Structure 1
Amino acid sequence: MTSTARAPEPEIVNEKDASRYTLTRDGVLLSVLDYRDDGRTVAMTRAYTVPAFRGHGYAAEVVAGAVADIEAAGDRSVDAVCWYVADWFEAHPDKAHLLRRR
């Protein structure tokens, strides 16, 4: 009999008190997205992946999770302050409606 155990799925959590979304797997921090929320706009200021876990798409995953969370709430726009977040929105034009109009 062969084992087909799969690694647990990463979990995205909005840590509101710390103004960040985190991506973890089995309690291990993989990536972080820092933000500032003024009640109308969520300014995504920094996407960071722990160096040991870079190159696996974790930053994209935490940004996608945060964007989905903001979109589901429906009461905020996004300001892509971080270059990585701006690039993510360029690659996902279907989410451009969430961007703050300047």
Structure 2
Amino acid sequence: MKHSAICIKAVPYQEIIDLRNTLERLDSWQEPLAVLEKYFTNPGAPINKKKVVKEYYACSKIFQTFNLEFNRLIQEAELQILAIGTQEKTKYHTLV
């Protein structure tokens, strides 16, 4: 029989949950972003200047909010991944 030693990082369960929550918050932007995509990729519709101005303002606010939140969540996720990556390794475990 051959014994091999492996090193396993101890990752606290809470850190895994925190990272999953961050990814879920990023994923929650799918629906609002679909609205923006529809607005910006609808060139065939007749142009109503009042409607365009109103929708442009609303879409710009959605994008500004998304951009701030997205950048914050990306930084948070990077810190969480860095924390997981720098966890101490546990003692060697032997596999039989």
TM-score by length of 1: 0.28
**Whose radius of gyration is greater, 1 or 2?**
2
Select the structure with the greater relative contact order (CA < 8 A; seq sep ≥ 6). Answer: 2
Scaled by the length of structure 2, the TM-score of the pair is 0.29
Larger strand proportion of the pair: 1
